[in-house]
Amino acid sequence: MELFPPPTVDENETRYCFFLRVPSIKQTEEERLCDAEQQCLAFLTFAAQQTQEFIWHRHRFHLQVTSGNDGRYALSGSTSVGDAIQDEWVVAKLLFDITTHFPGVVGRIADTDGEFLLIESAEALPDWVTPEDSDRRVFVLDGKVHIAPPTSAAQKGKEGDLYDDDALEMVLDSSVNTEASAAVQRLIQQKLDEVPAYLRENRHRVRCLLPEKVARVLTADGGLVGPAVEAFYYREPKQTGLLCGKMETFLPSGDSVVEQMVTFSRAMFAQLKQQNFFPPKPFLRRDARYRVLENTKNEETSRPNAQAADIGVKLACGLELLYAGASEDQLGRPWKQSIDEALQQNNGKLPILPIEPDDDDLWLYMHPDTLESQLQRAAMAGATSSPGGADELQSMAAMFGNFVDGVSSVEGVEGGEPVQFDMSSFMDILNGHGARDGNAAGLNVPWGKHFMDEDEPSQFDSSDEEGSDDEDNALDQAMAEMEAELAGTKVTKSFSRFEEVEDGEKESPASPRQDAPAEEEVGSASFSSAKPLDLDYNLLSNLLESFASQEGHAGPVSTILNEMNFPSPTS
């Protein structure tokens, strides 16, 4: 086992497939395969038009013809999105658009987390939809989400399959209603509506100081920018020192350095920008413009040429590492082969392209004002989507009240004692034998007294009432003494009490003034103790304060609420 294992790419993979229409019975196997290949080409052409000039972070949308479990052909593919999670929603948007543009085609999509479409619409799902019952049973038909309910004879696919056979048959059966509710469709559509803006904005163009050989490769094939960034971002230090310390491939002796505009995705640019990397010696010896990176002071690195040199060094080193490695592209071709083809394609004189101003990188930084506005929008959205906040608070208080009133022990909460019916004792009472045995059936009073009218006084009632009154008086006296003892302390000031208000005004809980003099507070202790204590208000106030102090982490309040099956407050 290595002491410092090399970093690996975060495998966030999206898998998808399309089920084509059932072919005609008269078609031969070759004709069916030809139709599937034509459909595959049509889908890829449509996807290329929808994502024109979009920069995929790792892998692009890709399809290939496969044979389904029932013998018919399907189109399947997978896209690794890496750190750019939003790319999987680009794939989802393509899947929804393809099923809308090509009627009768059923789509299926999932990622490493499972049914991410259901995760996005979890708050609107019906109760029967569980992770176990919905796994591999979510499809897209005509741009709508369909969820096949579980059946007693569910045909579970093999481990690793993308769908269940019986679920697909239910979606294709027009007599079975599998379309998800309008609320589910709306939540997913809200996420899909963000994709067009992401396609437009997910790009960042900056000026880079590059070796001429690197500039020729990127001019011929701009798709190599992403793999070069990934190779640099997940570099191994020892290998980087050996290869980038010489730069034999992309910065040989006699090669010049040029300025060129390079287009990154926002995730790629952020990965290069946030890395601290000192330029290897070949760069410092070859061109004086790289020496601006030798001084690490803020005023030096803020120069206009500093970013061009910094990004250029990192991109060139990433391409050097990619060329020397054994990694392959999405289709299984070595990156070394793709780089050689790009060099042969652009082996002539490098065209002189205009240098433009760098794109604004304010999106990379989160300012306090911007963060506050985003949090407020999220809070408002949460408030509108969860009406009845006052009712929920009252329900929470009532739930805690029932919990406190219950009897509990180490074995759990006890309910009411079970009723036991003794037939022999009951027959003895009916036959009149209960009077001869005062303890029959657990009774300690004479027989006839149980059937007296409750309103009629008796010697037994009077003695019980006197004992009960004595106990109540003793308890009231003890509580009064406790109130008097606590009246002069600060304990009473930590609770909120109801203010006595005139008719027509709303009663509200009041807290002691924080700026009141100590003498005034002590002097009014008896007055404040006379006010009724608002138990629910104090309970909810303490609960919410404790929940806020958890700062989104696990804690006692969230644990108690979860045990009571009560959703934790979100704002």
pLDDT tens, 349-391?
Answer: 777 778 889 999 888 887 777 777 777 777 666 555 544 455 6
Kindly state the average pLDDT of the residues 94-116: 93
Tell me the C-alpha to C-alpha distance, in Å, between residue 473 and each of 29, 463, 476, 481, 530: 95, 15, 5, 12, 19
Residue 528 has pLDDT above 50, yes or no: no
Q: Which residues contact residue 474 at a Cβ distance below 8 angstroms, ignoring those fewer than 6 apart? A: none
Burial class (CB in 10 A: 0-12, 13-18, 19+), 204: buried
- When pLDDT is cut at 50, 70 and 90, the band that residue 243 belongs to is very high
| Residues in a beta bridge with 408 | 413
pLDDT tens, 72-85?
Answer: 789 999 999 988 99
In the block, which residue shows the tokens 């059932």? 22
Residue 195 has pLDDT above 70, yes or no: yes
* Calpha distance 206→357 (Å, rounded): 7
Strands in 138-141's sheet, in edge-to-edge order, are: 64-67, 73-80, 13-19, 106-111, 138-141, 144-147
Position with higher pLDDT, 211 vs 514: 211
Mean pLDDT is lowest, of 117-126, 389-398, 403-412, 421-430, for 403-412
pLDDT value of residue 269: 95
- When pLDDT is cut at 50, 70 and 90, the band that residue 89 belongs to is very high
Give the mean pLDDT of the chain.
78
In the block, which residue shows the tokens 């995730």? 267
3-state secondary structure 178-194: CECCHHHHHHHHHHHCC
Position with higher pLDDT, 571 vs 370: 370
pLDDT tens, 499-517?
Answer: 555 555 444 555 544 444 4
* Calpha distance 264→232 (Å, rounded): 14
Position with higher pLDDT, 174 vs 468: 174
- When pLDDT is cut at 50, 70 and 90, the band that residue 536 belongs to is confident
* Calpha distance 223→228 (Å, rounded): 9
- Core vs surface per residue 391-415: b (16+ CB within 10 A) or e: eebeebbeebeeeeeeeeeeeeeee
pLDDT value of residue 423: 62
pLDDT tens, 542-554?
Answer: 877 787 777 667 7
- The most confident of 125-129, 395-399, 526-530, 559-563, by mean pLDDT: 125-129
- When pLDDT is cut at 50, 70 and 90, the band that residue 303 belongs to is low
Residue 224 has pLDDT above 80, yes or no: yes
Kindly state the average pLDDT of the residues 479-491: 75
Residue 145 has pLDDT above 90, yes or no: yes
In the block, which residue shows the tokens 């393809």? 98
Mean pLDDT is lowest, of 50-64, 182-196, 247-261, 435-449, for 435-449
Mean pLDDT is lowest, of 283-292, 341-350, 521-530, for 521-530
Kindly state the average pLDDT of the residues 176-202: 94
- When pLDDT is cut at 50, 70 and 90, the band that residue 105 belongs to is very high
* Calpha distance 113→94 (Å, rounded): 20
In the block, which residue shows the tokens 């302390």? 489
Residue 566 has pLDDT above 50, yes or no: yes
Position with higher pLDDT, 565 vs 337: 337
Residue 436 has pLDDT above 60, yes or no: no
Residue 561 has a CB neighbour count (10 Å cut-off) of: 18
* Calpha distance 566→45 (Å, rounded): 49
Contact between 230 and 185 under an 8 Å Cβ cutoff? The reply is no
Residue 271 has pLDDT above 90, yes or no: yes
3-state secondary structure of 468: helix
Mean pLDDT is lowest, of 137-141, 277-281, 465-469, for 465-469
Mean pLDDT is lowest, of 74-83, 139-148, 488-497, for 488-497
pLDDT value of residue 160: 52
Position with higher pLDDT, 174 vs 196: 196
Mean pLDDT is lowest, of 10-19, 271-280, 322-331, 489-498, for 489-498
Mean pLDDT is lowest, of 50-59, 191-200, 523-532, for 523-532
- When pLDDT is cut at 50, 70 and 90, the band that residue 396 belongs to is low
Residue 497 has pLDDT above 90, yes or no: no
- When pLDDT is cut at 50, 70 and 90, the band that residue 419 belongs to is low
Kindly state the average pLDDT of the residues 529-540: 66
pLDDT value of residue 263: 95
pTM: predicted TM-score of the whole model, two decimal places: 0.65
Residue 480 has pLDDT above 90, yes or no: no
